[in-house]
Amino acid sequence: GENVEQHPSTLSVQEGDSAVIKCTYSDSASNYFPWYKQELGKGPQLIIDIRSNVGEKKDQRIAVTLNKTAKHFSLHITETQPEDSAVYFCAASISLYSGGYNKLIFGAGTRLAVHP
Amino acid sequence: GAVVSQHPSWVICKSGTSVKIECRSLDFQATTMFWYRQFPKQSLMLMATSNEGSKATYEQGVEKDKFLINHASLTLSTLTVTSAHPEDSSFYICSAPPRRARQETQYFGPGTRLLVL
């Protein structure tokens, strides 16, 4: 079945530095790749997503890149701030056999700590 | 837009009792909702797909008779943990893709923390 690997599992950076999280997926049919931020005790929050017809997408300090040939995608956070500290999950979509909706397969998560 | 709520936010119950968790889409309709379970310091594991007006689809290894799902309307899905045991203690999260949006985009609720004593 579909598998998503995420690295690193923990990441510690100084405020103002950049952070990069990488994911690899196995199902070449996957065509949608969201990134979620989860703070302690809360539900995941969608922060950015990318579809397979695009190689890169940027939203202020956050960017995502996708390499479909290599089946990997990455999250880039620039000018990190202490409030960026959270667990970040990547995901890849696979089609359900009915309903037309895709289900998401999540990576294991990356715990990001931004130190002042 | 695209707000999903859950109720209750946390619940403590005795072993053997049943617990119902509600998932509501507040500003959109959702014919499909997803239920996830998350253990401490682990990732989200999909339990089942809830379909409005039809039976839910369960992931392999998830007992459908233990985790009852009812998707009675376009804005409400419920998950009932029947005869809960301590090993069912977890963080339960629902998500929904808005009908008006692309089918892939999922918005998550705030989660329900269940503790079974």
Among A103, A105, A110, A111, the strongest candidate for a mutation testing the B interface, having the largest count of B CBs within 10 A, is A103
pLDDT of residue B10: 96
CB contact under 8 A, A109 and B46: no
Which neighbouring-strand residues pair with A86? A112
Among B3, B90, B106, the strongest candidate for a mutation testing the A interface, having the largest count of A CBs within 10 A, is B106
- Closest residue in A to B48 (Cα) is A103
pLDDT of residue B66: 96
Classify residue A101 by its DSSP letter.
P
Which residue type occupies A3? N
- Percent of chain A having pLDDT more than 70? 94
pLDDT over 80 at A1, yes or no = no
pLDDT of residue A29: 86
CB contact under 8 A, B103 and A102: yes
- Tokens for B29, please give them: 């309709």
d(CA A20, CA B20): 39
pLDDT tens by residue, A25-57: 998 888 899 999 999 999 999 999 998 888 999
Q: Per-block average pLDDT, block size 10, for chain B (117 residues)? A: 90 97 92 93 93 89 94 93 96 86 80 97
- Percent of chain A having pLDDT more than 90? 79
pLDDT of residue B34: 94
Q: H/E element holding B24?
A: strand B19-25
CB contact under 8 A, A96 and B49: yes
d(CA B17, CA A116): 46
pLDDT of residue A96: 62
- Closest residue in A to B113 (Cα) is A41
- Tokens for A77, please give them: 């956070």
pLDDT of residue B83: 96
Average pLDDT over residues A14-24: 98
CB contact under 8 A, B110 and A96: no
Q: Is A20 on the interface with B (CB under 8 A)?
A: no
- Using 50, 70 and 90 to split pLDDT, how confident is the model at A99? low
- Closest residue in A to B101 (Cα) is A101
Q: Is A54 on the interface with B (CB under 8 A)?
A: no
